[in-house]
Amino acid sequence: MRVLHVVTAFPRSADDVIAPWLVELLKRLRAAGYDIAVFTSAYRGMGDHVFAGIPVYRFRYFLRRWENLTHEETAPDRMRRSLLYRLLPFAFVVAGMVAIRRHCRRHRYDVIHVHWPFPLALLGWAAQRARPARLVTTFYGAELRWVKGSSLPFARRFLAWAARRSDRVVAISSYTAAEVRELADIPIEVIPYTTSLPAPGAAPVARDGTGPVLFVGRLVERKGVANLVEALARLGPGGPRLEVIGDGPERPALEALARQLGLGDRATFRGKVPARELQECYARAA
């Protein structure tokens, strides 16, 4: 079975920190015998390449200098700061629709899997127009938050349309599924992204309640790590420690906030860590 995953951004190199959970999913699908490919946006003119054995097809949508709506920061974070970035999504969507239609005329897929349907559902629609395929749409919750806070009158109707026209709708949590059902009363399958199982042979770790509070993810505004840091400060000196794994554009501001609140060594920002070390972090967390 050939599956094309449509995403806003995807790792550009082995040390890129974008969506490691999605990369792991695709690796495992590929190991299970599925023929996997990724369709995503370019970054400053970057073309097609292969990542971890997976073909990655990138579409151009603007001049190289400003072709950075995604990847380093989320598109909403960029759009808040500049009129140019508020206009870029129109070029992004139109160019993406044209490119994926052309791509799917040359390549046959059994399934088109759209991640983050606002606005990528339009690319899924264009792919199906080029060549029939089953359409799967996964909701992560972030797109629902953006739509709820949007002043665009059509935003909710757009997501309802995206859900109803999909052959299968997936949500990553029961909470997200309930929010999607508010838009469209349709069957939704809940498939959460969880932490990995312990590595074979790993020694069990005894939990005594003294482990740190652990955050793992990309440090962008919408992840709410600033709220976590502020909550830790409110608990006072007797509160738990916080361990932050991951990197991103918000890291300097978060480290400054932790210093400002006097957290000292109670808040540790470790950046990206190797996979096995990450499993150890999960094991000893509170």
Supply the pLDDT for residue 164: 97
Mean pLDDT of 7-32: 91
User: pTM score, two decimals?
Assistant: 0.82
CATH homologous superfamily of domain 2-190?
Glycogen Phosphorylase B; (3.40.50.2000)
Supply the pLDDT for residue 197: 56
The domain ranges of the chain are: 2-190, 213-284
Tokens of 77: 């974070």
User: Residue 150: is its pLDDT beyond 80?
Assistant: no
Q: What percent of the chain has pLDDT over 90?
A: 67
59-73, 116-130, 224-238, range with greatest mean pLDDT: 116-130
252-276, pLDDT tens digit by residue? 999 999 999 999 889 999 998 887 7
150-164, 171-185, 264-278, range with greatest mean pLDDT: 171-185
Mean pLDDT of the chain, nearest integer: 90
Of 194 and 99, the structure prediction assigns the larger pLDDT to 99
Which positions ≥6 away from 77 have C-beta within 8 Å? 220, 221, 222, 249
Supply the pLDDT for residue 202: 57
User: Residue 194: is its pLDDT beyond 60?
Assistant: yes
Asked whether the beta carbons of 215 and 246 are under 8 A apart, the reply is yes
Cα end-to-end span (Å), the chain: 41
Asked whether the beta carbons of 69 and 85 are under 8 A apart, the reply is yes
User: Residue 206: is its pLDDT beyond 70?
Assistant: no
Mean pLDDT of 215-239: 89
Q: Which CATH code, of 3.40.50.2000, 3.40.50.80, 3.40.50.300, 3.50.50.60, is assigned to 213-284?
A: 3.40.50.2000
Closest CA to 196 of 278, 139, 285, 286: 278
Supply the pLDDT for residue 66: 92
Supply the pLDDT for residue 74: 78
Supply the pLDDT for residue 49: 98
Give the confidence band of 203 by pLDDT, cuts at 50, 70, 90. Answer: low
Are 2-190 and 213-284 equal in CATH topology? Answer: yes
